[in-house]
Chains A and B, each alone.
Chain A
Amino acid sequence: EVQLLESGGDLVQPGRPLRLSCAASGFTFTSYAISWVRQAPGKGLEWVSAISGSGGTTYYADSVKGRFTISRDNSENTVYLQMNSLRAEDTAVYYCAKMPGPFIGVAGTGWFDPWGQGTLVTVSS
């Protein structure tokens, strides 16, 4: 069974860093890209970042570019999201999700299935 398990969410002060993890199991990890998607309380879904199966290609939403870094350890079947300079507007549940193949940045390579259960990040003083 394909499973994704996020961890690392916490209450953090504005300007501080936080690292989220997404541990994957049940599939050939390097054959699939992974994305992070967030959902602010009571709001809709916002794609945050994506990484290819090899880890060689990464993309970021404008709202987090320059502050967040996505990476993966293919020996540990884990994807990370390093979040720096956190802001109140980054408060959200963060989900990781598996994509249909290893490549990203090409049209048609990007629905999300399945998703992890999510981890809550609260940015507040």
Chain B
Amino acid sequence: DIQMTQSPSTLSASVGDRVTITCRASQSIGYWLAWYQQKPGKAPKLLIYEASSLESGVPSRFSGSGSGTDFTLTISGLQPDDFASYYCQQYKSWWTFGQGTKVEIK
């Protein structure tokens, strides 16, 4: 099975900061990676698919990059609505998620 490891687990940041979350796969997954945002008590929301494709309606401050085993989600100019948990997910072989990164207010 492909394991996904996110870092950090928690990130403290301020409004306006540039934030980067890293996701590493235990083996190469090509571009088959998605990123989700989840707020407390709500369902996850798709942000990015195929590693760097922005889902329709998602603000352009969100961007994804990477291929193979190393991926990043970047939020350029953190907004109050962005404080949430973020998950990566591979879909090269079955479907597995990273353990999540909580972005909290500094």
- Taking CB atoms and an 8 Å cut-off, the chain B residues in 86-101 that contact chain A are 87, 89, 91-100
Let me know if A109 is at the binding interface, CB within 8 A: yes
- Taking CB atoms and an 8 Å cut-off, the chain B residues in 64-89 that contact chain A are 87, 89
Q: Chain B contact residues (Cβ within 8 angstroms of A): what range?
A: 20 to 34
Q: Is the CB of A111 within 8 A of B89?
A: yes
Q: Is the CB of A107 within 8 A of B32?
A: yes
Query: What is the bound-complex CA distance between A34 and B32, given in angstroms?
Result: 18
- Collect the chain A residues with CB atoms within 8 Å of residue B93's CB: 107
Q: Chain A contact residues (Cβ within 8 angstroms of B): what range?
A: 20 to 34
Let me know if B19 is at the binding interface, CB within 8 A: no
Query: What is the bound-complex CA distance between A46 and B92, given in angstroms?
Result: 16
Q: Is the CB of B91 within 8 A of A111?
A: yes
Query: What is the bound-complex CA distance between A116 and B89, given in angstroms?
Result: 18
Q: Which of A47, A50, A111 contacts B46 (CB 8 A)?
A: A111
Let me know if B16 is at the binding interface, CB within 8 A: no
Nearest A residue to B55 via CB reads A113
Q: Is the CB of B44 within 8 A of A112?
A: yes
Q: Closest Cβ of chain A: how far from B31's Cβ, in Å?
A: 8
Q: Is the CB of A114 within 8 A of B46?
A: yes
Apart from the given pairs A47-B97, A116-B43, 14 other A-B contacts in the complex at a CB distance below 8 Å: A44-B97, A50-B95, A61-B94, A95-B43, A100-B49, A107-B92, A108-B30, A108-B92, A110-B32, A111-B34, A111-B89, A112-B46, A113-B46, A115-B43
- What are 18 A-B pairs at a CB distance below 8 A? A44-B87, A44-B100, A45-B89, A47-B94, A50-B95, A61-B94, A100-B49, A107-B91, A108-B32, A111-B49, A111-B91, A112-B34, A112-B36, A112-B44, A114-B46, A115-B44, A115-B45, A116-B43
A interface list, Cβ under 8 A from B: 35, 44-47, 50, 59, 61, 95, 100, 107-118
